[in-house]
Structure 1
Amino acid sequence: MEDINKIVYVVDDDEIFHFIIRKMLGQQDDNLIVTSFLCAEEALEQLSAVPQPSLPSLIILDMNMDRMNGWDFIEAYRSIQPSLHNNIPIIMCSSSVDVRDLQKVEKTPELMAYITKPLDKNKMKVIEEYL
């Protein structure tokens, strides 16, 4: 384990999901700071505003949210990504098992993985790979 704190952004409109993922990530790594966003717009504003050393190591993104969904977030992220000076891995997390969604994930280079809700230990291993 590194001494430096790693930051994870969780972008999901479900407060219960935030609680669960905080618990599960907290069991994995004491040096993790989980920053929760209930809407994608707030996460984008934060990404645009934070200094480079404070950028997240990982973004866990819900697909289906009100106002701005996960796909809209990725579109907006693409426009600010060059100013971030590093690629932040994004894992999409959703309850959808629609084949069209899975195909779209495969064609989206910003997405490192797709995991379905509810989370379990095997799905957490996927997240850990990118921390």
Structure 2
Amino acid sequence: MTTFLIDDDSLSNYLTETLLKMEDFSSDIRTFEAADEALAELVQQPEQARVVFLDLHMPLMSGWEFLDALAPYRSRLLGNCRIYILTSSLALEDLTRSHGYDLVAGLIHKPIDSGEIRAIQAAMAPADLT
């Protein structure tokens, strides 16, 4: 399984990647500071198993724009891609809006912790994303 970290904050990416490695979350962790770069790679092989940690507030392409851009690939991504919004925003509107995207598996407030990573691992059935 491949994990994408999409956040314009390099420190946030570093901390999340370090924690994911400590928890043996994924064998392949890719970091992106621009959502459009991650999008280009993701849609090349939408059937590949991936977990995505996505920041919402980024320049050029926001997390919401990233999610909207996935719409044409939705049927090929479902079952293969889980997206977790990883945000510092405490806005209730973000949580409510995230429910409109069936690829979004959850919203996590930064910084992510070991317990949340273990909960994500536990939520993934053995047949999912392998």
Q: Which bracket does the TM-score occupy, shorter chain normalised?
A: 0.7 to 0.9
Pair 1:96-2:84 in alignment: no
1:8 matched to which residue of 2?
A: 3
| Structure 2 unmatched ranges of 5 or more | none
* TM-score scaled by length of structure 1: 0.82
CA distance in 1, matches of 2:120, 2:25: 15
CA distance in 2, matches of 1:31, 1:111: 19
Q: Which runs of 4+ in 1 moved over 6 A?
A: none
Distance 1:106 1:48, change over 3 A: closer
Tell me how far 1:29 sits from its aligned partner.
1.2
Contact 2:46 2:80 in 1 (8 A): no
Q: Structure 1 stretch 30-39 or stretch 69-78: which is displaced more?
A: 30-39
Tell me how far 1:31 sits from its aligned partner.
5.0
Contact 1:37 1:43 in 2 (8 A): yes
Report 1:53-92 matches (<5 A).
55-84=48-77, 86-92=79-85
CA distance in 2, matches of 1:31, 1:70: 22
Tell me how far 1:126 sits from its aligned partner.
3.6
CA distance in 2, matches of 1:7, 1:65: 22
* TM-score scaled by length of structure 2: 0.82
Report how many aligned residue pairs link the two structures.
124
Distance 1:103 1:19, change over 3 A: same
| Structure 1 unmatched ranges of 5 or more | 1-5
CA RMSD of superposed structures (Å): 2.1
1:100-120, Cα deviation, whole Å (9 max, x unpaired): 111111232221000001222
Contact 2:55 2:63 in 1 (8 A): yes
Percent same amino acid at aligned positions?
27
